[in-house]
Amino acid sequence: MTLTRADDAAAIFTEGYSCSQAVCAAFAEDFGIDRDTALRLSCGLGGGMAHTGNTCGAVTGALMVIGMKYGRTAVDDLAAKEKTYAVANEFISEFLRRNHSVSCTDLIGHNLSDPKELAIARKDNLFHTKCPRFVRDAGEILEKIL
């Protein structure tokens, strides 16, 4: 059985890494980025960017992957910038279709910037019951659009 990048992302998440780290690290080596570097770069994005409940880490990790593939490295390479934005928008549209939001607060159902609500989300094991689906969705969408 061939493992997919979505499987890799899910496995990395299960190891205990954040959603952003799982998605970013699962694809990084395809673009010449080692796993440790990918884990470091994406570390602050979990929990909707450092537990602020903003954009879901699976989404921000995916946007990093899209940037690794299409992102511009020359300031005047507007075609690369536009391609990156187009693919990012395609990703976001499909993630929204599947999950109805890209907001961690909406997806988890708690405002993670509030320590009491973060504690409830942890107590209710929401990061382990809800987030695996978002990580897998991000991986599947990336596999399709890259």
Spans of all domains in the chain: 5-145
- The stretch 53-78 carries a mean pLDDT of 98
Alpha-carbon gap, residue 45 to 61, rounded angstroms: 8
Q: What are phi and psi of 103, to 5 degrees?
A: -85, 125
pLDDT for 2 beyond 80? no
Contact 104, 57 (CB under 8 A): yes
pTM of the model: 0.96
pLDDT for 1 beyond 70? no
Q: How many residues appear in the chain?
A: 146
Alpha-helix residue ranges (DSSP H) falling in 16-56: 19-28, 35-42, 46-49
